[in-house]
Amino acid sequence: MIINRNQLLTMAPIKDMVPQKVKQNGVSFGLGEAGYDIRIKQGVTFDNRQGRHLVFCDGRVTDGHFSLASAIEEFQMPTNLVGIVHDKSTWARQALSVFNTVIEPGWCGFLTLELAYHGNGLLEIPAGVGIAQVVFHQTAEHAQYEGKYQHQEDKPQEAKFQ
């Protein structure tokens, strides 16, 4: 069952949840009808013009169509709730994909976002705007995440292989 609105506010899977949608730079964030729109902490620019494939993120420049970023929101998932990250249509319509990460029951920390740009132009994502929607589902049993990404820091985290 999808958990939304008042029950989601009561369960508080995100610290300091914004109880309604707020627009910033034309893109919304906050509590919606069926989930919560999270914000991106770092500004990210993809420049795929004229055969170039450059990514600018938080003062770093890389080559390619992919970037890691992080969410502003800090998660504190209850042990009976799982979150699924979905693309936000505003960005999907501009050829940006946000990978569909699963936020496990009992997980705490700042979410790392995996972004892929499939377009051929310039795409600028300002820091602080809504970037993805998280839909929350109640689990049949309580569970506690104890994996390698527990208590993730307030910055993008590279993959861990241990």
Q: What is the pLDDT of residues 13-60, one digit of tens each?
A: 999 999 999 998 889 999 999 999 999 999 999 999 887 888 888 888
pTM of the model: 0.93
Share of the chain above pLDDT 70, in %: 100
Residue with tokens 């008042």: 6
Domain ranges in the chain? 2-138
Fold of 2-138: Deoxyuridine 5'-Triphosphate Nucleotidohydrolase; Chain A (2.70.40)
Alpha carbon distances (Å) from 132 to 27, 52, 70, 125, 154: 10, 26, 11, 12, 17
